[in-house]
Amino acid sequence: MSDMKNVILDVRSQTAAAANFVRVWNRGKAEKTARISFAMPELLWQVLSAKRWSLLKALCGADPVSIREAARRVRRYPRAVRADVTVLVNAGILTRASVGIVCPFDAIKVEFFLTNREGLAARKASQLRRAEGMKTMADATERLGLYAAEDAELRAAMKGKRD
């Protein structure tokens, strides 16, 4: 067995993340790979900008370093690196150590699927409406349960709106 510590950054709903947690908890055995989930791809990309990704590449699997040393490795100003480190620490990807910062992972994997959920949902609703002779798309959409309250809350949060 390898001592290599890996993390998967993924995109999935809170419901899916919670279901995975319960599954692992009930099994009583920890996953081999850590997982950090984001509710939407947009949230993932807010955390993983190109400059933060280069910072992670420089720190992944390395010993703890100071902010100044991390900045030197990526050829950036320490103040800018400090701001990026704060975001990555808050996301759980980096940790603060007594001598600076450290990436506790040897490898980082990012996984997500790109789909047009609304387009797929509309197509399914249209097919159901025709198949069952429904009069409106709203009836078919409601029947399929395509627009969950959780999705609406997430979309509103991304737009900065409150219900």
Tens digits of per-residue pLDDT, 9-28?
998 888 888 888 888 889 88
Q: Which residues contact 65 (CB under 8 A, 6 or more apart)?
A: 59, 73, 99, 100, 101, 102
Tens digits of per-residue pLDDT, 88-130?
999 999 999 998 999 999 999 998 777 666 666 667 667 666 7
The pLDDT value given to residue 155? 54
Mean pLDDT of the chain: 81
Tens digits of per-residue pLDDT, 75-92?
999 999 999 999 999 999
Domain with CATH 1.10.10.10 in the chain: 6-111
CATH number of 6-111: 1.10.10.10
Q: pTM to 2 decimals?
A: 0.67
